[in-house]
Amino acid sequence: MALSRSFKDTVKARAERDPEFRAALLGEAVEAFAAGDAASGKALIRDYINATVGFDQLSEAVAMDPKNLMRMFGPRGNPRLANLSAVLRELNRREAIHFKVEPERLLGGQSV
C-alpha cells in the first residue's frame, strides 16, 4: 500500500506547527547520543534540520560547509564532539530550550 504523504513531508508539517514536537525531536536525539545510539541520534537531528532550519541556513550559523553537515549527520557520518556541540547549541538556541543531564542513580545505588 502506497503512502499518501512522504515521511519527510509529514515531519516537516508537524514541526512547522508544533513547537513541542520540535523540542521532542531534539530531546530524543540527545538521549540517543547519551545512550550510545549515535545512528538514531544522527537520524533524528537530520530529520529535525530538514524539517526546520535546513542545512544551508544552519551551516551559516555554525560556520561549517552545508555538505559537511549533511555528511556528518548521514548514516556513515562520524561527527566530532566539537562539531556536534556547535550544532546542538545552535539548534537549542533557535528553539529556546535547554537540556539538563541528570544521573538516574546516585553513587551507592540510591535513585534520584
Q: What tens digit of pLDDT does each residue of 4-58 get?
A: 668 788 888 888 899 999 999 999 999 999 899 999 999 999 999 999 999 999 9
Q: Which residues pair with 111 in a beta bridge?
A: 105
Question: How many whole angstroms separate alpha carbon 19 and alpha carbon 46?
Answer: 17
Q: CA-to-CA distance for 26 and 94, rounded, in angstroms?
A: 11
Answer positive or negative: Cα dihedral of 76, 94, 82, 30: negative
Question: Which pLDDT value is given to residue 62?
Answer: 96
pLDDT band at residue 2 using 50, 70 and 90 as cut-offs? low
Q: Is residue 111 over pLDDT 60?
A: no
Q: Residues 88, 35, 37, CA angle at the centre, nearest 5°?
A: 80
- Cα separation of 17 and 39, whole Å? 27
DSSP secondary structure code for residue 29 in this structure:
H
